[in-house]
Structures are given as C-alpha cells and as structure tokens.
Structure 1
Amino acid sequence: MARKSQTIALLIFFVAAALSKTSYATVISTYWGQNLYEGTLKEACDTGIYDIINLAFLNVFGGGQTPSLNLAGHCDPPSGTCVIFGEQITYCQGLGIKILLSLGGAAGNYYLSSQDDAQSVADYLWNTFLGGRTSAGPLGDATLDGIDFDIEGISNLYYDDLARFLKEKSESVYLSAAPQCPFPDYYMGAAIATGLFDTVWTQFYNNPPCQYSDGVTDDLINSWNQWTTSINVTNLFMGLPAAENAAPSGGYIPVDNLISDVLPVIESTAKYGGVMLWSRYYDVQTGYGASIKSSTLGDGLVSSS
C-alpha cells in the first residue's frame, strides 16, 4: 500500500512539474509596420507568436507639427487609407494581444519643445488613439492599449513629462520603452526613471559594448544585470534582432544559443518579462519567434495594468 501511494505521489509530482513548465510560454513582443512584405497585422496576430505588437511608427510630432504615421507602404496616412487597420487591431485585441502605437524610430522629425508641447502631444495621443477617442482616427475605430517610446534622435527633453501626462489621462494606458542598452539611455533615461513604464524592452543589439558577440554572452548578461538592478519597472524584456541582417552593428544571437545560453540565465531574474524582436518582417524570414515560443519555457508575464 505504501509503495502504491509513493507511486501515485510521484505521478502527481511529474504531472505537476510538466504543467508548471507548459503553463507559461515566453512572452514575445515585436514591431510591425515598417515593411510591406511582413504581411498584414491580422496575419501577424494569427501566428500565435506575439503577445504585444507595436505599430511602427508615429515619427512626426511635437513642435506644433501635424503628427504623422509612417507605416512604410501598408497604407497612405494622408489619404486616410490606414483606417483599414482598425478592424484588424480590434481583431488582434480580441485574441488577447496588446496593440501599442510606437513613437519615434530611427528616422523622422519628432521632438518635444516644452512641457506644454508634451501636454499637447499627450492630448493628441489620448484623443486620437486611446481612451479619449470619440470618433474614427487615422487607424479607424480601434482604441489602442497604449504607447511605446522608441526615441532615437533629435532631443531627449520632456519625454518624462509626456509619460506623466499620459498616465494622468488613465492609469490603464500601457506604456513601454525601447532604449538602447548602454546605460542610462541618453534619449529615454529620464523618462524611464519616472517608474511609470509598465514594460521596458532594451535593445541589446547595434551596441557592441553590451551585446552578444561570437558566442560570448558576458557583455550582454552584464548589461542585462545592470538594467534589472537600476530601473523601476515590472517587466524587462531582452530586445533582439530576429535575423542577422536586422542588426548591421551586431547583436544577433542564433536561436539555439539564445535558448541554451541566454534565456536560462535571464529568466531567473525577478524583472524578466520576455523577449522583444525587431521586427515582424525579419521574423517572417527566419521563424525566430516561433522557435522561441515552441522550444522555450519562460516565466514572463505581462502586467495587465
């Protein structure tokens, strides 16, 4: 009888262990909108790979300019054709996927000239894409989940104010940031220091001092540890290129090396949230995200705030 009880106990243990491993797939975010050949937003959502998708980019704003989207051939914002994505955004949200609008990017004309300017941009974002929207906007009738800050040029001023003004609109506005890995990030250091961001996905690529190189993980892990111990954020993601040619200055990690040498280390940190991939287009070419999703078991959970 004792032996039978021990056998049952072992079976329960192994079943529980198996369930605990498969309960949480690695949380993956990506950027969509910068290559026509990446497919539609709906197609990206239907893969089941992504938990968060950043629409890239709103790359003209601030300084009294008329804000403008650049979705790289998917639609023509001035003519109003981007409204076709409203239905797709709502569809993706129905699958439980967060859809954010990403500000900035590597090219564009964006900056904030003052606190008042930051307030004006926050008002525009709230009334056009978020909970303050009362009519169809550039992306149709969809209400986005939040705003991503991918600030990479011109000025580093007043983005902390923009984050505060957006959170003052509603605590439910999801804020994310995509800083470069040298710490602190020049453009977004002050904004991230506010502690208002739900998620930070640091770009551990195109930055040789803090990225993976030739099978060596030391610089990458050291930088990861600096970020985890230095910022007030619930979810820290490791931002990576989904293909070697997605990062001209390096940082690409072969997916087998990521799974065996990197994820087991970073998943043990309390702030680990998942992996961010640049971008959907490159991921289509390589299947990088699908390999992570199917082959790894993470503990990352995205805050529902």
Structure 2
Amino acid sequence: MISFLSKVLLLAMLTLSRAAVLTRENLRARDVESPIITALPAAKPGTSGQTVAYFGQSGKLGVNSLSKFCGSPDIDIIVLAFVNVYKGAGGLPGMNLGGYCDTKIPGTGLLNCPEMGREITACQAAGKKVLMSLGGESTTVNSLSDDKSATELGDNLWKLFGEGKGLEAKRPFGGALIDGFDIDNENKDSRGYSKLISTLRAHFKTGTKKYYMSAAPQCPMPDKSVGEAVYQVDYLFIQHYNNPVINRVEKARQLQSVETYGRIRIIGAVRVCEHGHSKYRGN
C-alpha cells in the first residue's frame, strides 16, 4: 500500500446516482506538485463535475499557503488532512497538518492555526467548501468502539471546528467554521462511524449554514474501514489508487462495487503508480 504521506492522490469527481462507465474520453490525468493532493473532474457531457483536493500531507514543496489555491476555478472542495487522534492529550482530538501548522495548543494535541483560519474564510468567500478529514493511513486514531466514544468525538469536533460552544480557547482555526467532515478511516475497524455521523448531523441541524459529510472508502464493497457509514454521507471520494486499476479485466467487478453503493454524489477513479505518478487506464 502506498503511504499517504508520500503519494500523489488524484480523485476524479463525477456526480452519479448509479454506476457509470469510465473511459479515456471522460478521464484526464496530470502530475501534481503542490501541497494539495488534487482531484480532477471526470464528468460526462451533461453532468456537473466537481474537483476535490486534500491539503497538507504531501509536504510543502515550496508552497506555503492554502489561500494561494483558493482562487483556482478548478477546485471546488478542499479537504484538510488530518484529525489523526480521536482522543489524546487533554481528552481532546489531535491533529497533523503535514508541517503547514506546527504550534500545539498547550495541553492538547490540537494545532494553533489562526492564519489558516483566515485562509479558510477566504476560500469560502471564493465559493469553495472546506472540510476537515478524520483519520488517514498514517494515523494514531483510537477506534470508536462504542456509541459513547463516537458521541464524545462528534460533540468535540462540533465545538472545535463548527458552531458548538465550550471549547473556544482550543479551536485550531479560531472563529473560522469548516463546512463539514470527511471520514478517511483506514484501520479496517468501522465501529462507531455511523453513530459519529448521526451525532454530527444532529449538530448540523442547529447550525446557521449547511454542513456536509463525506467518506473516502476503498473501492471494493463493503469497505471494512468505513462500513455502513457510506450510506450516511453526502459525498464519496473512492480510493481507487490502493485497489486494482479499472481496466478491461477488472472493469466489470469494479463497476459492480460502485453500483452497490447506491446513492452516490461523487466518485473517483484513478491509479497512483509505483513512483507516485498518476496514470489512468481506460478502454
């Protein structure tokens, strides 16, 4: 499996309700050299494609600002990676943003990132959605073994990144409000994620704006790390890069897995090769 900290992840975004045939004609690829792990739109004629980008975990690569990417018309959703500890120092979640913000909030594993908070607000003003991702491959997350731990995490996330009250002094991005959360669990233990999502959605209903949930499952269905939570999210960012590539031999099985997901807003289809270069295979 390719390490998340070194791979270049491209997620082709396609708005769907059922399965789709992905070919060379509606997929395109390029190498990406930026701190944003980028996704490229792969929409058929007549559909509305979107582009998602994971920010932070590929190293700075000479670029030190989130806001530099917010003016790009090619990016619709930016996912900040990661909240990689669910319950750590001080009983609160912990974070790793790959060097873009290193200062810890005393007594916690949270990061003090007021400048990134201002950049988040600027991104949103430019029409981008900004999500906070939970998990990642290189992670020290605690499993959500019961409803209590899932509820506690959901409550804390809402206070730290959303509109909840009670942890104002611990908020990583100050007064900036993210637009939702992404689940990128890769530990093959899906316990608690359905409860986490329902807890967050209950909080979303009390908010002053619309919030979103996404998940990044592996392609084969069911996904052991995300489980039934795939049916509770608004977006799916499917990880084809760690799975057999879509080609003539694998296409039927891959598309069967995609169709099994049922209600799908976004689907990715890419391959990351051995040296980190992204290539597509079609018909």
TM-score normalised according to structure 2 size = 0.71
1:145 aligns with 2:179: yes
| Aligned twin of 1:105 | 136
- Runs of 4+, deviation exceeding 4 Å: 21-25, 241-244
Tell me the CA shift for residue 24 of structure 1: 6.6
Tell me the CA shift for residue 104 of structure 1: 0.2
Matches within 5 A, 1:82-121: 82-110=113-141, 111-121=143-153
Contact conserved, 1:30 with 1:52, CA < 8 A, in 2? yes
Tell me the CA shift for residue 122 of structure 1: 0.3
| Aligned twin of 2:263 | 233
Q: CA separation of 1:77/1:152 partners in 2, compared to 1, >3 Å: closer, same or farther?
A: farther
Contact conserved, 1:62 with 1:113, CA < 8 A, in 2? no
| Unmatched segments (≥5 aa) in structure 2 | 1-43, 106-110
Q: CA separation of 1:131/1:24 partners in 2, compared to 1, >3 Å: closer, same or farther?
A: farther
Letter in 1 for 2:237: W
Tell me the CA shift for residue 77 of structure 1: 4.2
| Unmatched segments (≥5 aa) in structure 1 | 1-20, 263-305
Matches within 5 A, 1:182-261: 182-192=220-230, 195-208=231-244, 211-212=245-246, 216-220=247-251, 222-227=253-258, 229-240=259-270, 245-246=275-276, 252-254=278-280, 261=282
Q: CA separation of 1:157/1:47 partners in 2, compared to 1, >3 Å: closer, same or farther?
A: same
Letter in 2 for 1:87: R
Tell me the CA shift for residue 156 of structure 1: 2.0
Tell me the CA shift for residue 44 of structure 1: 1.9
Contact conserved, 1:167 with 1:196, CA < 8 A, in 2? no
Aligned pairs, how many?
Answer: 225
Single out whichever of 51-60 and 238-247 deviates more from structure 2: 238-247
Cα distance in 2 for partners of 1:179, 1:83 equals 31
Secondary structure at 2:187 match in 1? coil
Note the alpha carbon deviations across 1:119-169, whole angstroms, 9 max, x for none.
Answer: 000001111101325746112221000000000016321111101111111
Contact conserved, 1:199 with 1:233, CA < 8 A, in 2? no
Bigger helix fraction: 1
Q: Give the fraction of aligned pairs with identical amino acids, expressed as a percent.
A: 33
Cα distance in 2 for partners of 1:161, 1:191 equals 9
Residue from 16, 20, 44 that aligns with 2:69: 44
Q: CA separation of 1:73/1:115 partners in 2, compared to 1, >3 Å: closer, same or farther?
A: same
TM-score normalised according to structure 1 size = 0.66
Cα distance in 2 for partners of 1:75, 1:139 equals 11
Letter in 1 for 2:114: V
Cα distance in 2 for partners of 1:122, 1:98 equals 20
